Amino acid sequence: MKKEKRYLVPGDYMADPAVHVFNDRLYIYPSHDWESGIPENDNGDHFNMKDYHVFSTDDPMKGEIVDHGLVLTTEDIPWAGRQLWDCDVAEKDGKYYMYFPLKDQNDIFRIGVAISDRPEGPFIPQPDPMHGSYSMDPAVLNDGDGNYYMYFGGLWGGQLQRYRDNKALENGATFPADNEPSIPGRVAKLSGDMLQFAEEPKAVVILDENGQPLTAGDNERRFFEASWMHKYNGKYYFSYSTGDTHRLCYAIGDNPYGPFTYQGVILTPVVGWTTHHSIVEYRGKWYLFHHDSVPSGGRTWLRSLKVCELEYDAEGKIITIEGLD
Ligand code: FUB
């Protein structure tokens, strides 16, 4: 379906938008791309981000997009190595918790937490990453019953293939055969103080139409990175990027842990290698926030934030949006 779309921050390169409604206002938490000169490779070294800005608006399609400035940089984080990738923010009891992936000084992705009294930051980081955290792309669901769940993980440069049963593999990394179940994303309930996992992370299993887990060879549908969770009509919609096939897809479940049954494509491939998103309801409308590399002339590491409305059909299926529009 052809949609009206808007670039949100034309003056800078921002990617990986996590968007939430706090105090009746939309807050946008993106990655901040820049030209670091690092050559492009499959490990994602060219995504060499080092800080975050926060943006907000009361009308994503037409309103002013307020830049709240720098809210966290790698210089503030005691355990920082490199690469501040996709973050997310959750509110609890008037405090705002930013979850950010960052490589430590051994070049291993961990997930850190930074805290603010305000949704626009600045955010003060905890001295250490979350215990037992690994890989990247954290997305947090506030389930509305006092429980918060973090979804995370990503393949290739995201390092998820280096772990099984929440432990680092001794041989480094293993990918399943094409006919074996794909490597799943992970989900874990957060502790009451929002600073740690309250449990061992579990697999986010996505089933096909026959109730079988999607296989590693099914790269048009299997999970790669960029988890997001939203609820619609009481169902849990887990959405994600398929990475090397460049789609945003989704699967529906009855509870935060799943399993989830594959449903279809939210966004067809955009200009650029990565695709990443969030889905949020605001003042009675649903929106898809994502990025592409059109304004940078296709440079995959210089991405720009975009928004358009998102619609469901009568059965609750998301109507597919064209990425190249
Ligand atoms: O921005 C760096 C990485 O690219 C993100 O963590 C992935 O989801 C992809 O968008």
Distance from residue 228's CA to the centre of ligand 1 (Å): 13
- From atom 2 of ligand 1, which residue's Cα is the shortest distance away? 85
Residues 6+ apart with CB under 8 A from 31: 14, 15, 16, 47, 49, 52, 84, 85, 86, 87
Does residue 307 carry a pLDDT above 90? yes
Digit-coded pLDDT (tens) for 237-294: 999 999 999 999 999 999 999 999 999 999 999 999 999 999 999 999 999 999 999 9
Helix (H) or strand (E) holding 25: strand 25-32
Mean pLDDT of 86-102: 98
Token pair of 105, please? Answer: 């000084």
Domains along the chain with CATH numbers: 3-317 (2.115.10.20)
Among 243, 274, 267, 237, residue whose Cα is nearest residue 3: 267
Among 31, 27, 83, residue whose Cα is nearest residue 302: 31
277-282 and 124-125: which strand pairing? Answer: unpaired
Q: Is 225 known to be catalytic?
A: yes
Q: For residue 136, which atom of ligand 1 is closest to its CA? A: 6
For ligand 1, whether the C-beta of 136 sits within 6 Å is: yes
**C-alpha dist (Å) from residue 48 to 171, 203, 311:** 26, 28, 34
225-232 and 109-116: which strand pairing? Answer: unpaired
- Cα gap 17→266, rounded to integer Å: 16
Supply the DSSP symbol for 39.
Answer: P
Distance from residue 161's CA to the centre of ligand 1 (Å): 16
Active-site annotation holder among 4, 16, 93, 107:
16
State the Rg of the chain over Cα: 18
Give the per-residue pLDDT at 77.
98
CA angle 90, 91, 94 (to 5 degrees): 160
Active-site annotation holder among 33, 218, 225, 292:
225
Task: Quote the percentage of the chain above a pLDDT of 90.
Answer: 97
DSSP string, 248-295: EEEEEESSTT--EEEEEEEE---SSS---EEEEEETTEEEEEEEESTT
Digit-coded pLDDT (tens) for 210-219: 999 999 999 9
DSSP string, 224-254: -EEEEEEEETTEEEEEEE-GGG--EEEEEES
Task: Quote the percentage of the chain above a pLDDT of 70.
Answer: 99
Amino acid present at 248: L
Digit-coded pLDDT (tens) for 6-37: 999 999 999 999 999 999 999 999 999 999 99
Mean pLDDT of 142-164: 98
Among 152, 158, 239, residue whose Cα is nearest residue 187: 152
Digit-coded pLDDT (tens) for 184-195: 999 999 999 999
Exposure of 75 by Cβ count < 10 A (0-12 exposed, 13-18 middle, 19+ buried)? exposed
For ligand 1, whether the C-beta of 155 sits within 6 Å is: no
Does residue 151 carry a pLDDT above 90? yes
Q: For residue 101, which atom of ligand 1 is closest to its CA? A: 6
Give the per-residue pLDDT at 177.
97
